[in-house]
Amino acid sequence: MREVPSHFGPAHADAAKYREMYNESVENPEAFWGREGKRLDWITPYTKVKDTDFTFGNVSIKWFHDGVLNASVNCIDRHLATRGDQTAIIFEPDEPSDPAQYITYRELSEKVNRMANVLLSQGVMRGDRVVIYLPMIPEAAYAMLACARIGAIHSIVFAGFSPDALANRINDCGAKLVITADTAPRGGRRTPLKSNTDAALLHCSDKVRCLVVKHTGDQTTWIQGRDVDVKAMMEDVSPECPPRPMNAEDPLFILYTSGSTGKPKGVVHCTGGYLVYAAMTHEYVFDYHQGDVYWCSADVGWVTGHSYIVYGPLANGGTSLMFEGTPTYPDAGRFWEVCEKHKVNQFYTAPTAIRALMGQGPEYVEKYDLSALKTLGSVGEPINPEAWAWYDKYVGKGKCPIVDTWWQTETGGHMITPLPGAIPTKPGSATRPFFGVKPVILDPTTAVKQDETATEGVLCIADSWPGQMRTVWGDHERFQETYFSQYKGYYFTGDGCRRDSDGYYWITGRVDDVINVSGHRMGTAEVESALVAHQAVAEAAVVGFPHELKGQGIYAYVTLMNDVEPSDDLRKDLEKWVRTEIGPIAKPDVIQWAPGLPKTRSGKIMRRILRKIAENDTGALGDISTLADPSVVDDLIANRANKG
């Protein structure tokens, strides 16, 4: 175990305080969260704190549910009197030679109010959905907070998703309007967001309006009557827009995420509990103190960007850095150059980025002065010990606690994580639960709770916490089915987990058909359905396999139609096809032509076998006697595509 006391003075918690607060949080959640809820400003204070039920068939989650507040007021207005001139957002553009922008709370307020008035002028009302398809630019934060101000529900679609994926999300949530930009520079290249949006809108109601941020000034098509130049319009509207009082349980946003079956589901987070939880975790987990410069390198298209670029840091009156670029452009020193330039105190990134940079050599880090750093964070996938050690040695200089934060889109905020100054770390372990979180480990087959300290099984959570998702948009049944049906009385995370004899938690990865590619979550079913939509494909099965840089890669077994011959051109065509159907992140790393797939007599594909073949672990295939045709396995092994 490693103790790394802060080299910047006392942290928010020490070991004794963590224990005391944790015990109260699980023994008396009403008192604990009743007090913590007051970190927000309420228009009508709540009298109720927790009203939650995990019983399958009756699942209902409410926090602070008679309270009234507005999220944008909590992230902006309430800071104006004391820190109006403090920088709220530092924007660091893709090109290092372009100037950074420093947006104060006062400026943020004006932008958000103006954007809110633009939305109102387009007929967006309380409860309406607004899809945001923007690069990492300040307008993305303005758009989120403008929605929150008028009570509209935002749903961000990651700018790396394809037009089809965008259209599906616009249609699923019934968005009235999309906010996009002309083009998105990233790593020196440009993604044509507006033309992607044009393509998506061909599959949507013609009532959907399109607000366009002219960011690069690149030429785009313009559809009169549908497209609106947001920046120009913001100049014409009032800089004041009264905030809409919202119930704590009114949805704040929807974020689509992949599951083990079917199409992505719209995870719904509500105003009060989510914001309390995002703010509290941001303060304690990063040990954020007033005046610190905090940088989370995620994209606002993922939950990490929601909770830890926008809502958490701004609710705390912090300074949050938004970075438009990539870790390796113009070279592998970019992250550290930005850390030096803005004297970043807390830095939060994903293991996949660390691994990519590690491979380029330490000289890119050593060039820069990183002495302002005090906390380093990791998120998205288990961090392997080599990456942890590199992060610790070259970036943290052995002086910065590394917080390996385990959580999910569904949980709204950190769930199992070290706290600087309070919980000593072990490389690769997410350590201990955050306040209010009751992790339990169950036997995967018997569902029996494992009470011994050292044990292994599936990870569930025994009781609700304020940041928990409330439902799946438009499908409460699916919500209950996905998270509460398999292990009755518990929230099922989908992750496997080990607890060691010190009571530390080690996440072992997904136990369902979800894979984690560079920290991006992907349902194998989604990639399969994209593949089978191609006219040459009869059947497809997709599994994950260990990948040195990405954590997991995508391995696709493809059975072609009878009259189609496999070829390299077809392989390229299928890769391109998946990119178009979902987005570049879903492109298979390996495609193996499979004359047949291993199926049981009832027709179920035995993915366990496909995983083993993809991992090149063919000595351990286990019992294959239940297969309808065991000989297909020999063919798949003989023709493994991933010979490495």
Question: Judged by CB under 6 A, does residue 495 bind ligand PRX?
Answer: yes
Of the candidate residues 406, 465, 479, 505, the single one contacting ligand PRX (CB under 6 A): 406
Of the candidate residues 430, 582, 609, 614, the single one contacting ligand PRX (CB under 6 A): 430
How does strand 375-379 pair with strand 439-442?
Answer: unpaired
Question: Judged by CB under 6 A, does residue 382 bind ligand PRX?
Answer: yes
* Largest Cα–Cα separation, the chain: 74
Of the candidate residues 404, 512, 526, 528, the single one contacting ligand PRX (CB under 6 A): 404
Question: Judged by CB under 6 A, does residue 286 bind ligand PRX?
Answer: no
Euclidean distance between CA atoms 46 and 110, whole angstroms: 29
> CB of 383: closest distance to ligand PRX in angstroms?
7
Cis peptide before 385 (omega within 30 of 0): no
Question: Judged by CB under 6 A, does residue 521 bind ligand PRX?
Answer: yes
Question: Judged by CB under 6 A, does residue 379 bind ligand PRX?
Answer: yes
> CB of 273: closest distance to ligand PRX in angstroms?
17
| CB hemisphere CA count around 140 (13 angstroms) | 28
Binding range to ligand PRX, per CB under 6 A, among 224-232, 376-384, 468-476, 585-593: 376-384
Euclidean distance between CA atoms 372 and 336, whole angstroms: 11
Beta strand ranges found along 469-596 (DSSP E) = 471-472, 491-499, 505-510, 514-517, 520-523, 537-547, 551-560, 590-593
- Structural element, H or E, at residue 570: helix 568-581
> CB of 516: closest distance to ligand PRX in angstroms?
5
Euclidean distance between CA atoms 452 and 591, whole angstroms: 43
Rounded to 5 degrees, what are φ and ψ at 306? Answer: -65, -55
Rounded to 5 degrees, what are φ and ψ at 294? Answer: -120, 140
589 closest CA partner among 518, 539, 536, 532: 518
Euclidean distance between CA atoms 471 and 247, whole angstroms: 16
Of the candidate residues 345, 431, 516, 559, the single one contacting ligand PRX (CB under 6 A): 516
Contact predicate 370/399, CB 8 Å: no
Question: Judged by CB under 6 A, does residue 550 bind ligand PRX?
Answer: no
Nearest residue to ligand PRX, by Cβ distance, number only: 409
Binding range to ligand PRX, per CB under 6 A, among 61-69, 188-196, 367-375, 488-496: 488-496
495 closest CA partner among 523, 528, 460, 466: 460
> CB of 518: closest distance to ligand PRX in angstroms?
11
* Residues in contact with 517: Cβ distance below 8 Å, sequence separation at least 6, in sequence order: 544, 547, 550, 551, 552, 553, 554, 585
> CB of 144: closest distance to ligand PRX in angstroms?
17
Question: Judged by CB under 6 A, does residue 257 bind ligand PRX?
Answer: yes
339 closest CA partner among 307, 310, 375: 375
580 closest CA partner among 521, 537, 533, 518: 533
Binding range to ligand PRX, per CB under 6 A, among 406-414, 482-490, 593-601, 622-630: 406-414
Binding range to ligand PRX, per CB under 6 A, among 54-62, 125-133, 405-413, 581-589: 405-413
- Number of chain positions touching ligand PRX (CB under 6 A): 22
Q: Is 404 annotated as a binding residue?
A: yes
Instruction: Output 113 or 552, the one with its CB closest to ligand PRX.
Output: 552
Binding to ligand PRX in span 296-315, by CB under 6 A: 303-304
> CB of 582: closest distance to ligand PRX in angstroms?
15
Of the candidate residues 507, 558, 570, 609, the single one contacting ligand PRX (CB under 6 A): 507
Instruction: Output 168 or 257, the one with its CB closest to ligand PRX.
Output: 257
Annotated binding site for Mg(2+): 532, 534, 537
Annotated binding site: 186-189, 304, 380-382, 404-409, 495, 510, 518, 521, 532, 534, 537, 579
Residues that bind ligand PRX (CB under 6 A): 257, 303-304, 379-382, 404-409, 430, 493-495, 507, 509-510, 516, 521
